[in-house]
Structure 1
Amino acid sequence: MYMKKITDNVFWVGKNDDRKVPFHRLILERGTTYNSYLLTTGKPTVIDTVDIAFAKEYVDNLKEVIDLNTIEYIVINHVEPDHAGALPALAARAKNAKIVTTKLSSELLKDMFKLHNREFIIVHDGDRLDIGGKILQFFETPYLHTEETMITYSIDDKTLFPCDIFSTHIANNELFNDLAAGEYIEDFKVYYKLIMGPHRPYVREMLRKINKLEIDMIAPSHGYILRENAHDFIRMYDEMSSLVDDASSKKVTIVFSTMTGNTTKIAGKLAEGLKESGIEPYVFNLKNSNLDEVLDRIQISDGVLIGSSTKYGDMVRNVEELLQALKNMEAKGKLSAAFGSFGWSGEGITHIENYLNDSGFTVINQKYLILNRGIDTPAFPLRIKFADEESLHTAYEAGKIFGEQVLTH
């Protein structure tokens, strides 16, 4: 039961975990599987491993079906411990294996598992690897659902190994979706909503990358292998990641005050990022705007970005006047975030955040993004020293992130 054939020279060698599994502050009532795959080609290859809790069991079972010293490649699509957790135990026994992964993933794995002396093969979009009878192709899929992730495609088998993407949390012994003993489509959709949904733009980018691939089967790292109607599941991701609402109906007000013009540049890049997300921005410089007009616009907007230069450890005075006026607005749940520029100190944005919290806004900051969206890229509060090209690009990306929060709020 440990080794199950998927297709020619491709085998499932994973772990079925039928407990109520703690996972991302949730309890998986139907359990899950950790799907690892062994390709018994001329250069034997493992694609992903299992949860760290089952590392010894995994390696003990694997050595019953293959001489571990003959494994040439271990492909790691994603470094989280439910997929890469058994890598140290496997690498210790498969001493000749090279680890195939993205550049960022290699850095993380070396530090996490003390693998600095192992040989890594770094792959990028479209790179191919001959594993002796089959060709694997790799595509980077950042933020699905962490920054370092990639997917692996077996050209000869027309099989996609996408790790967390297209997964479902259900413990099962049937392995294939056409043999599923019960309902699983809703679980598939819930998985998407909780794990992939917060990263909608990256889902869209991933779909563009796999659009031209011939895919007969999807072999994810949790739940069923999708060998029946695989394209139906790609279509579901396409539908779920498409905007249901008219994005143009969503509006965000950007309001700021500046001393030297750097905060103006930041506001402009935030507006560009919002537009990229399909959201209409309204931009106000408080130095030449009517306060009542600004307040009216914030009232009808779906979100607000408030920015200020830092002056003597504080925000600019007219920004504070605006924030004091916002305390009288019914703002419960409206999304907001702080941004600003600084030279030698940058406390202004912290004061803006405090006002927004006190006024009942939902403040988008790193804590919010990590807890609610699984996004660990620092975005807000956006604190930029002066405004060079690199930092302005950061502002543009932050605008896109804020736009996505508005669209999916």
Structure 2
Amino acid sequence: MSVQINDKVYWVGKVDDRKVPFHRLILESGTTYNSYLLMTDKPTVIDTVDIAFGREYVDNLIKLINPEAIEYIVINHVEPDHAGALPALAAKAKKAKIVTTDLGSQLLNDMFRLHHREFVIVRDGDSLDIGGRTLKFFETPYLHTEETMITYSEEDKTLFPCDIFSTHIAAGELFNDLAQGEYLEDFKVYYKLIMAPHRPYVRDMLDKISTLEIEMIAPSHGYILRENAASFIKLYDDMSKDSGNNKTKKVAVVYSTMTGNTAKVAQRLVKGLEDNGIATSVFNLKSADIKEVTEVIKESDGLLAGSSTKYADMVGCIEELLKELKGIPSAGGKFAAAFGSYGWSGEAIMHIENYLAEAGFKVVNQNYLVGTIGVDEQLFPLRVKFDREEGMETAEKAGSVFAELVNSN
């Protein structure tokens, strides 16, 4: 089960033509798990296949190469449909070094207990000589999880971008120029479902690959794009541009505070927002007119509402404002999230979330972030103890993630 796709480059993946359960969807057209073997002087595997097919994958690979000869295993993305067969492969390829990002190595160790293996940690722009080929690596966080990277073979002019540029089709013919039916719409749907929520990161990725000479794109699902590869890059470019206008998005940041700590949290949220191109309107409700603030919120594209916690409750005028927001027609579909500082408990953020949901906002919390963009760090509701710096750093990151959501909406 191997197909030569280039000089010394082989597809060694798995075509899964079932109706495949995937991210709470059913892939009616199945999918492929594309893994690649570069038969260079230092044989290298790029990504593996789904965890369900680990043994079959290794058995097929053995027909092409003695696993003991494999020197590198590149893991672009640690999800089980790409890294799932790594334990089975690593057990046979005992000398192989695992090439991935720093966060990727941590996640792989947590998942597969590979602490005894040697990792090669790569960062943006790093290169690796694999004996007759030079691989270049670029970090592409949140495409579609934080640890993701892409790999480029300079001599082959081939991009191995894992989930990016993928399509969920059980493509037995493997190459897009041999496709038996229409697949362009499937390509666009994949982008919309998986990549579109991360539009700013798509733009960053396109910028990173803009100077590369790419003749073939070998993703981890669906067709290998060897015909008109540039047209698929252009499609991503077109689909990731601002829709219709270049209007700067606006977020209202409102809060009540007792000692000033929640104000500090708000400032770091604002930095994260503004660093990502969001215009902000910031209100300390102690000195703001509730009616005026409500009008600004109506005109904004998102809302961050915060409060300190006192006796397990909100403080100041935040509850008065939240009651005012109930039923405003412009709330529907807008992103909103809660934040606040605390000393002993921190329940205020829960009350704020309840009000935001009742008003009709799309509430951003841990469940939403895990389910949509794969962020597993606790960002929202944002709860910072006093004004500790680690909490402030989290607040800045939370502002950046919220900006990403608003910009993609």
TM bucket, shorter chain: over 0.9
Corresponding residue for residue 150 of structure 2: 151
> What does 1:2-401 align with in structure 2 at a 5 Å threshold?
2-248=1-247, 250-330=249-329, 331-401=331-401
The more displaced of 354-363 and 226-235 is: 354-363
Q: Distance in 2 between matches of 1:200 and 1:316?
A: 37
Q: Provide, for residues 120-170 of structure 1, a one-character-per-residue CA deviation record: whole Å limited to 9, x for no partner.
A: 211111222111111111111111111111111111111111111111111
Deviation of 1:297 (Å) = 1.8
Name 2:404's counterpart in structure 1.
404
Q: SS of the residue aligned with 1:235?
A: helix
Instruction: For 2:258, give the aligned amino acid.
Output: M
TM-score, normalised with respect to structure 2: 0.95
The one-letter code sitting in structure 1 at the alignment partner of 2:171 is N
Per-residue deviation, 1:379: 2.1
1:328 offset after TM fit, Å?
5.0
Structure 1 residue 247 displacement after superposition: 4.7
User: In 2, are the aligned partners of 1:273 and 1:400 still within 8 Å (CA)?
Assistant: yes
1:278 deviation in Å? 3.2
Instruction: Note the C-alpha offset of 1:390.
Output: 4.3
Unaligned runs of 5+ in 2: none
For residue 252 of structure 1, report the CA deviation from its aligned partner. 2.1
Determine the C-alpha separation between the residues in 1 that align with 2:344 and 2:245.
Answer: 43
C-alpha spacing 1:333/1:137, structure 2 compared with 1 (3 Å)? closer
CA deviations on 1:178-209 (whole Å, 9 max, x unpaired) are 11111111111111111111112221221121
Distance 1:235 1:183, change over 3 A: same
Query: Any idea what SS the aligned residue of 1:252 has?
Result: strand
| Matched-pair contact (CA < 8 Å) for 1:248–1:279 | no
1:366·1:381 contact (CA, 8 Å) conserved in 2? yes
Whichever residue aligns with residue 323 of structure 2, its letter is Q
Contact 1:266 1:340 in 2 (8 A): yes
- State percent identity of aligned pairs: 68
CA contact (8 A) 1:247 1:407 kept: no
> Number of residues paired by the alignment?
408
Deviates more, 1:329-338 or 1:299-308: 329-338
> Quick one: which amino acid aligns to residue 333 of structure 2?
G
CA RMSD of aligned residues (A): 1.7
The secondary structure found in structure 1 opposite 2:164 is: coil
Give, as a single letter, the amino acid of the residue that structure 2 aligns with 1:396: E
Paired residue type of 2:381: P
- With over 3 angstroms needed to count, the CA separation of the structure-2 counterparts of 1:377 and 1:196, relative to structure 1, is farther
Q: Secondary structure at the match of 1:38?
A: strand
CA distance in 2, matches of 1:382, 1:90: 40
Give, in whole Å, the separation in 2 of the partners of 1:224 and 1:385.
49
Residues 58-83 of structure 1: CA distance to partner in whole angstroms, max 9, x if unpaired?
Answer: 11111111111111111111111111
8 Å CA contact 2:145, 2:373 repeated in 1:
no
| 1:165 alignment partner AA | I
Structure 1 moving runs of 4+ over 4 Å: none
What SS does the corresponding residue of 2:398 show, helix, strand or coil? helix
